[in-house]
A and B are shown apart, each in its own frame.
Chain A
């Protein structure tokens, strides 16, 4: 970095490059949902969260983006990332808890993380402990009924130190969210439960930060931030395409994406 402060663009380029290398080397898919979530993860961990705060990755298939984010913060090192998806790793395809505070709970089955986050936030309040809870969900995940159970309880219990971010990339495993079981538009459905909702560009870190840290948060419940994102952002073969959910990265995809962000292979 030649002594210059790292800009967000530089940070993101570094993270994208490392994320894609990790997925290329491991031949693991879910690249699209990692790239759509990466800006939110970087923003939360670099610009929002303090030492008392905790993060729950409810869309556990974006584990790669979480690991790389924790690599950018120095929690994980390069050797640990190299174990991704290999025998004996702690860096499974979906997060495993119990070894670092930055991964407080295991996730992977959609529809669990928000309830866990609600419980964590309620516990903090009952214990009188500081710290907020942040939870990132996918958009298709809201087809799970338990998500709405969690939202109802969080609102009813006025859990106001919980922020829920939704990665609205519009694609799920076997179709678009609108084709499969549309919840469009999520915002009025959520506000119908009495929850405060804001929608921002999920690739604009400043917009994300402002939405999350707004001082006028609703005292009566959790805040929801809907992130408009592009699945597979930065990999031209994957952008907004269903293939980005499952298919692994090719060397050509990798080279193309690195060129976009200006990273060296």
Chain B
């Protein structure tokens, strides 16, 4: 999605100039943006704490600011700067973290982002955005720019199946209609599941819902989704994020608050490093039961 975000930011810049700070990342992706922006494209060096506070200082002076880094370097290392300098001030600084979840694979745990939106959403004002497909990124960037609040954009790898027609972007979308129980998937993880379900007859397969904006208090699920949960009394939630602070917990809270009872609630999520080893994103998804085969078994369609 890096190419998509570069194109989206270039389009945004031509509408409404902003400042872009990178923590020395963006090689072979952001060069066109750098050329377009000139002095407003600033490589702040390998110093993320400073970069976040500098961005806050710029925003305090009335500038729109976007920050870019590998996801954990963007939210974990400078957490206090995000908390104090951006969120406590309610400043419209947008953070872009590349490689959500296990996206950086065998690069190792230092590069993984398994708790990003859960941690950030504990802070005031901030919203999180998790596009599912590269085609979503343009709309997401525009929506983030339109908000006056801090935002966090979790980028992943687009896993759109061949031939799949992406439905128009929305914070909640029905990605695949089905006669079975509703399944909620956060972000690009949905792509692999859509591919696996493509050959399953609609009457047997689950209805797959994609979530791309958080928290749910800002973007609650549509009534059609809640009606499906009421009817089936079952819910499956899938996300490449740890259980604490994840969408599974958010949805369980929402259902309890709304008095919607379910007989079965399954939450598949990131489990860290069960084997103590490291590998590709697919390897880690398999360890967590988030790979397409495990999900088909879970959903009872094989």
State whether these chains interact. Answer: yes
Interface residue ranges, A against B (CB under 8 Å): 97-98, 104-106, 108-109, 111-112, 115-124, 126-127, 129, 145-146, 149-150, 152-153, 156-157
B57 — which chain A residues lie within 8 A by C-beta?
A: 105, 115-123
Q: For the complex, give the distance between the alpha carbons of A10 and B242 in Å.
A: 61
Q: Is the CB of A115 within 8 A of B49?
A: yes
Number of interface residues of B (CB under 8 A): 27
Complex interface residues of chain B between 34 and 55 (CB less than 8 A to chain A): 39-40, 42, 44-45, 47, 49-50, 52-55
Of B44, B50, B60, B63, the most chain A CB neighbours within 10 A belong to B50
Q: Is the CB of A119 within 8 A of B47?
A: no
Q: For the complex, give the distance between the alpha carbons of A140 and B234 in Å.
A: 57
Of B53, B58, B81, B89, the most chain A CB neighbours within 10 A belong to B53
With A116-B85, A126-B19 in contact, is A146–B50 under 8 Å at CB? Answer: yes
Judge if B61 is at the interface, Cβ distance under 8 Å: yes
Q: Is the CB of B88 within 8 A of A150?
A: no
18 contacts between A and B (CB under 8 A): A97-B89, A98-B89, A106-B85, A112-B81, A116-B53, A118-B57, A119-B53, A119-B59, A119-B60, A120-B60, A124-B61, A127-B62, A146-B53, A146-B81, A150-B53, A150-B54, A153-B44, A157-B42
Complex interface residues of chain B between 2 and 60 (CB less than 8 A to chain A): 19, 39-40, 42, 44-45, 47, 49-50, 52-60
A126 — which chain B residues lie within 8 A by C-beta?
A: 19, 39-40, 58, 63
Give the distance to chain A from B59, nearest Cβ to Cβ, in Å.
Answer: 8
Interface of A is mostly: helix
For the complex with contacts A119-B57, A123-B19, A146-B47, 20 further pairs of A-B residues with Cβ separation under 8 Å are A98-B89, A105-B57, A105-B60, A106-B89, A108-B84, A115-B50, A115-B53, A115-B56, A116-B85, A118-B54, A118-B57, A119-B56, A120-B57, A122-B54, A123-B57, A123-B60, A123-B63, A127-B63, A152-B47, A153-B50
B40 — which chain A residues lie within 8 A by C-beta?
A: 126
Judge if B80 is at the interface, Cβ distance under 8 Å: yes
Q: Is the CB of B81 within 8 A of A115?
A: yes
Q: Is the CB of A119 within 8 A of B58?
A: yes
Interface string of B75-114 (1 = CB under 8 A from A): 0000011001100110000000000000000000000000
Q: Is the CB of B61 within 8 A of A127?
A: yes
Q: For the complex, give the distance between the alpha carbons of A60 and B98 in Å.
A: 34
Q: For the complex, give the distance between the alpha carbons of A118 and B50 in Å.
A: 9
B44 — which chain A residues lie within 8 A by C-beta?
A: 153
B45 — which chain A residues lie within 8 A by C-beta?
A: 149, 152-153, 156
Give the distance to chain B from A156, nearest Cβ to Cβ, in Å.
Answer: 8
Nearest B residue (CB) for A131 = B61
Q: For the complex, give the distance between the alpha carbons of A129 and B55 in Å.
A: 17
Q: Is the CB of A105 within 8 A of B89?
A: yes
Of A122, A124, A126, the most chain B CB neighbours within 10 A belong to A122
Q: For the complex, give the distance between the alpha carbons of A97 and B19 in Å.
A: 23
A118 — which chain B residues lie within 8 A by C-beta?
A: 50, 53-54, 57
Q: Is the CB of B62 within 8 A of A150?
A: no
Q: Is the CB of A119 within 8 A of B88?
A: no
Give the distance to chain B from A116, nearest Cβ to Cβ, in Å.
Answer: 4
Nearest A residue (CB) for B46 = A149
The listed residue (B49, B58, B61) touching A145 by CB distance below 8 A is B49
Q: For the complex, give the distance between the alpha carbons of A105 and B84 in Å.
A: 10
Nearest A residue (CB) for B57 = A119
Q: Is the CB of A149 within 8 A of B47?
A: yes
Complex interface residues of chain B between 214 and 259 (CB less than 8 A to chain A): none
A145 — which chain B residues lie within 8 A by C-beta?
A: 49
Q: Is the CB of A123 within 8 A of B61?
A: yes
The listed residue (A106, A152, A153, A157) touching B84 by CB distance below 8 A is A106
Q: For the complex, give the distance between the alpha carbons of A115 and B49 in Å.
A: 9
Nearest B residue (CB) for A117 = B57
The listed residue (B50, B56, B63, B84) touching A150 by CB distance below 8 A is B50
With A109-B84, A150-B53 in contact, is A123–B58 under 8 Å at CB? Answer: yes
